[in-house]
A and B are shown apart, each in its own frame.
Chain A
Amino acid sequence: MPHVQVRDLSVWYGNAQVLKAVNVDIPDKQITCIIGPSGCGKTTLLKSLNRLLELTPAARVQGKVLVDGEDIYGNHVDVVSLRKKMGLLSQKPQPLPMSIYENVAFGPKVHGVRSRKELNGIVERYLREAGLYEEVKDRLHEPAAQLSVGQQQRLCLARGLAVEPEVILCDEPTAALDPVSAQAIERRFKELSRHYTILVVTHILRQAKRLADHVIFMYMGELVEAGPARQVFESPSHPQTQAYVRGDIS
Chain B
Amino acid sequence: MRWRRIEERVFGVLMLLATAVVVGSLVWIAGVIVYRGAGALKLSMLVQLPRGGAYGREGGILNGIVGSVLLSLPATILAGMVALPACIILQDEHAGRNPFIRSARLSLDVLWGVPSIVYGAFGYILMVYMGLRASLLAGIVAITFVQLPIVARAIDEVMRTVPLELKEAAFATGATRFEVATRVVVRQSLPGILTGLLLGFGRGIGDAAALLFTAGYTDGIPASLTEPAASLPLTVFYLLGAPYPEARAKAYAAAFVLLAIVLVVSVVSRLATAKLRRSTVI
Residues of A within 8 A of B (CB): 50, 52, 54-58, 80-84, 86-88, 90-92, 94-99, 106-107, 110-111, 143-146, 156, 159-160, 162-163, 169
Contacts and interface: CB of A to CB of B under 8 A. Distances in A.
Contact of A96 (B93, B96, B174, B184): B184
Contact of B173 (A54, A98, A146, A163): A163
Interface string B170-185: 1111111001000110
Contacts of B94: 54-55
Interface in B261-282: 278-282
B167 A97 contact: no
A97 B173 contact: no
Contacts of B184: 96-97
A92 B163 CA distance: 11
Interface residues of B, number: 29
A55 B164 contact: yes
Contact of B171 (A83, A99, A159): A83
Contacts of B8: none
Given A83-B171, A94-B165, A160-B172, 13 more contacts: A80-B174, A80-B176, A82-B174, A83-B172, A84-B173, A87-B172, A87-B173, A92-B165, A94-B281, A95-B281, A106-B173, A143-B279, A169-B172
Contacts of A143: 278-279
12 contacts: A55-B94, A82-B174, A90-B168, A96-B183, A96-B187, A97-B280, A98-B187, A99-B279, A107-B174, A107-B175, A144-B281, A145-B278
A97 B173 CA distance: 15
Contacts of B169: 88, 90, 94, 96, 156, 159
B109 interface: no
Contacts of A97: 166, 184, 187-188, 279-281
A159 B174 CA distance: 11
A107 to B, nearest CB: 4
B100 to A, nearest CB: 14
A82 B167 CA distance: 17
Nearest to B175: A110
B246 interface: no
Contacts of B163: 94
Contacts of A107: 173-175
Interface string B67-97: 0000000000000000000000000111011
B97 A86 contact: no
Contacts of B282: 145
Nearest to A85: B174
A90 B165 contact: yes
A163 B174 contact: yes
A84 B174 contact: yes
B173 A94 contact: no
Contacts of B281: 94-97, 144-145
Top 7 closest pairs, chain A to chain B, by CB: A88-B172, A143-B279, A84-B174, A107-B173, A94-B169, A57-B96, A97-B188
